[in-house]
């Protein structure tokens, strides 16, 4: 070859031959010299178009059963050369001409490995080396070279070529597509080999199934390091990990913000309860069914989980538990007797792990996570085949900073217990499906409304749960005479029906309710409910976004809310703040919206 030759040059090396002959016809019509590899050159030649083998310029035959064809300095020097004096000299010295167009697509690796029972040797044969190198070289030098990696682009390319040359914008878009293709190709290859070679529990972990049992192909993996957790017992499913990996950062952040061990009870990617390990009163031990747990007085972690689980026992049924600290025996004993799917924590005391490993006949899920693991700041999610990306929500919620901006009453300061409870509520919201509103008291969530389309429905749902929680402290609920042998889930359900006022009035449903008791408790009258709920005071409430209407404030006030933290930004902010002031509620502006999906 000679650098003085003004004729444009195209290299053709394709597995997918769709549209190739029409492209060759158009290139030939525009006086482009065609160089082809292997079967590509053969097809073009048999169609009657002038084409030379790559060996015509490399002076080297294809070798190793066709695995080496285009990997040669003459090929890649011609592709990578720029319009620089030094590059022109190098080309002239080596008698190399520039390449202007590269048409290339790759062996069907993804299609091959998608077949049932494909072996590693079979997959290896479909790993393209020369093609990927051609594509990347041409895409890198897209300021001068046009790369066509998708047959769908041939017609628009030829239309532009007929008008003179390929625009810079088109070369950029073709290069982007080329890089996306090689990235996807490499991802498929690494995924295949990860599943075969990485080892269970290292970079990739096979899951029992996806969101539903019929979604059998499911895994958890990382591309840049080993998984930051290990399975001590049981086998995780897809939703188990969604819950665990949302619950763990919640308790980690709670402990960091309030310097106290924390726990969360998670169900369907939202917390049913979250708490720190503040001391328990005698009544709280009874309500949370932990009055017989030895060592709970000296275990802040056990107290935290008792609160997290006890806030909404109905929603916590079958939960995933997150614990901020090493799991001790008192905490393990609480977990051992509740219906739960699994636990995630940074460490386990030997005896505690032995207790948990016996749960569910040895199938209880126990995950141990690296305490210092920090995820990438960028996170990705694929929905309907489309990948979304965002910066991870790494906003810090700290009591001294987050709730310092008090709007009403003027010059007010939020007391430390209220700031603590607002912190618990707000960090819980950070990991709750939006829209969401959270009520907190005594260092724990007492009512949470998650995933509602309407803000008022969040507030009502969370408020109803807070009311239900408080009704459980009434003497009538504390002193129920249970029939011997009544199971804990049945007790929880019966208490919930009594305290929420939905006792069945007749039929087999009433019989099923009453069978739990030695003495059936009297239902609460409306007057009794109102009188008892009037005793609920100093509740903290946080909202993941602004309150658009004053009905939210009215509903919050009926459940003893004294402190509200919410972002501003509604056209109705003035009326909301004014209503809070009239009700004697302290309103703090929480400056960060905390939507979570």
Catalytic residues: 140, 268
Whole-angstrom distance, CA of residue 107 vs CA of residue 360: 48
- Burial grade of 548 (CB within 10 A; 0-12, 13-18, 19 or more): middle
Token pair 């394709």 in the structure block, residue: 14
- Burial grade of 360 (CB within 10 A; 0-12, 13-18, 19 or more): middle
Token couple for 200: 């269970």
Whole-angstrom distance, CA of residue 193 vs CA of residue 197: 6
> What is the Cα 336 distance to its own chain's centre?
28
Token pair 């803000």 in the structure block, residue: 455
Q: How many CB atoms lie within 10 A of CB 129?
A: 14
Q: What is the largest CA-CA distance in the chain?
A: 104
Whole-angstrom distance, CA of residue 75 vs CA of residue 436: 60
Token couple for 533: 């709920």
Whole-angstrom distance, CA of residue 247 vs CA of residue 104: 47
420-441: string of b/e by CB count within 10 Å (b at 16+)?
A: bbbbbbbbbbbbbbbbbbbbbb
DSSP string, 148-206: E--GGGHHHHHHHHHTSS--HHHHHHHHHHHHHHHHHHHHHHHHHHHHHHS-BTTTEEE
Whether 326 and 346 have beta carbons less than 8 Å apart is answered as yes
DSSP string, 502-564: ----SHHHHHHHHTTBSSPPPPPPHHHHHHHHTT---EEEEESS---STHHHHHHHTTTEEEE
Whether 146 and 171 have beta carbons less than 8 Å apart is answered as yes
Token couple for 39: 């079967």
User: Parallel, antiparallel, or unpaired for β 386-391 and 229-233?
Assistant: unpaired
Whole-angstrom distance, CA of residue 219 vs CA of residue 238: 8
Whole-angstrom distance, CA of residue 546 vs CA of residue 565: 9
Whole-angstrom distance, CA of residue 273 vs CA of residue 323: 12
Q: What is the DSSP letter of 152?
A: G
Whether 399 and 425 have beta carbons less than 8 Å apart is answered as no
Token couple for 239: 């939703």
DSSP string, 272-341: EEEEE-----HHHHHHTT-TT-TTGGG-HHHHHHHHHHHTTHHHHTTEEEEESS-B-HHHHHHHHTS-EE
Element (H, E) at 122: helix 120-124
Whole-angstrom distance, CA of residue 332 vs CA of residue 355: 6
Q: What is the DSSP letter of 585?
A: -
Side-chain-side CA neighbours of 244 within 13 Å: the count stands at 24
């Amino acid at each position: 070859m000679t650098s003085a030759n003004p004729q444009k040059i195209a290299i053709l090396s394709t597995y997918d031959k769709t549209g190739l002959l029409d492209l060759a016809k158009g290139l030939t019509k525009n006086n482009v010299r065609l160089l082809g590899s292997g079967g590509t050159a053969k097809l073009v030649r048999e169609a009657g178009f002038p084409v030379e083998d790559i060996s015509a310029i490399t002076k080297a035959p294809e070798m190793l059963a066709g695995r080496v064809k285009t990997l040669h300095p003459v090929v890649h020097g011609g592709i990578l050369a720029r319009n620089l004096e030094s590059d022109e000299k190098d080309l002239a010295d080596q008698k190399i001409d520039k390449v202007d167009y590269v048409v290339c697509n790759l062996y069907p690796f993804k299609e091959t490995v998608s077949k049932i029972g494909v072996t590693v040797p079979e997959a290896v044969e479909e790993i393209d080396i020369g093609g990927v190198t051609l594509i990347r070289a041409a895409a890198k030098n897209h300021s001068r070279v046009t790369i066509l990696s998708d047959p769908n682009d041939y017609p628009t390319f030829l239309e532009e070529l007929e008008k003179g040359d390929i625009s810079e914008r088109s070369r950029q878009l073709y290069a982007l597509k080329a890089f996306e293709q090689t990235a996807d190709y490499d991802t498929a290859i690494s995924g295949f080999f990860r599943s075969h070679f990485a080892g269970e529990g290292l970079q990739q972990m096979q899951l029992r199934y996806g969101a539903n049992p019929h979604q059998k192909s499911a895994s958890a993996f990382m591309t840049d390091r080993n998984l930051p957790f290990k399975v001590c017992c049981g086998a995780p499913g897809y939703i188990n990990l969604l819950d665990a990996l949302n619950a763990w950062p919640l308790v980690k952040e709670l402990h960091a913000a309030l310097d106290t061990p924390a726990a969360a009870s998670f169900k369907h990617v939202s917390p049913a309860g979250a708490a720190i390990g503040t001391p328990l009163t005698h009544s709280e031990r009874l309500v949370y069914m932990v009055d017989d747990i030895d060592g709970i007085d000296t275990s802040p972690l056990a107290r935290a989980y008792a609160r997290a689980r006890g806030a909404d026992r109905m929603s916590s049924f079958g939960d995933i538990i997150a614990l901020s600290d090493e799991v001790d025996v008192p905490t393990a004993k609480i977990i051992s007797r509740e219906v739960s799917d699994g636990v995630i924590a940074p460490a386990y005391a030997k005896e505690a792990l032995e207790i948990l490993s016996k749960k569910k006949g040895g199938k209880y899920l126990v995950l141990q996570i690296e305490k210092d693991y920090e995820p990438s700041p960028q996170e990705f999610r694929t929905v309907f085949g489309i990948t979304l990306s965002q910066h991870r929500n790494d906003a810090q919620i700290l009591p001294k900073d987050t709730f310092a901006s008090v709007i009403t009453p003027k010059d007010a300061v939020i007391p430390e217990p209220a700031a603590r409870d607002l912190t618990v509520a707000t960090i819980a919201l950070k990991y709750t499906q939006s829209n969401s509103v959270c009520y907190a008291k005594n260092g724990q969530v007492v009512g949470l409304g998650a995933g509602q389309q309407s803000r008022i429905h969040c507030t009502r749902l969370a408020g109803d749960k807070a009311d239900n929680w408080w009704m459980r402290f009434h003497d009538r609920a504390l002193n129920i005479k249970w029939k011997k042998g009544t199971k804990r889930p049945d007790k929880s359900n019966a208490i919930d029906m009594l305290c929420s006022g939905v006792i069945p009035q007749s039929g087999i449903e009433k019989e099923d309710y009453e069978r739990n008791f030695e003495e059936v408790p009297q239902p609460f009258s409306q007057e009794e409910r109102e009188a008892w709920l009037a005793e609920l005071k100093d509740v903290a409430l946080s909202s993941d976004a602004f309150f658009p209407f004053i009905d939210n404030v009215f509903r919050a006030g009926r459940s003893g809310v004294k402190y509200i933290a919410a972002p501003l930004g509604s056209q109705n902010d003035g009326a909301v703040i004014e209503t809070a002031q009239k009700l004697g509620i302290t309103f703090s502006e929480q400056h960060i919206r905390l939507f979570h999906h």
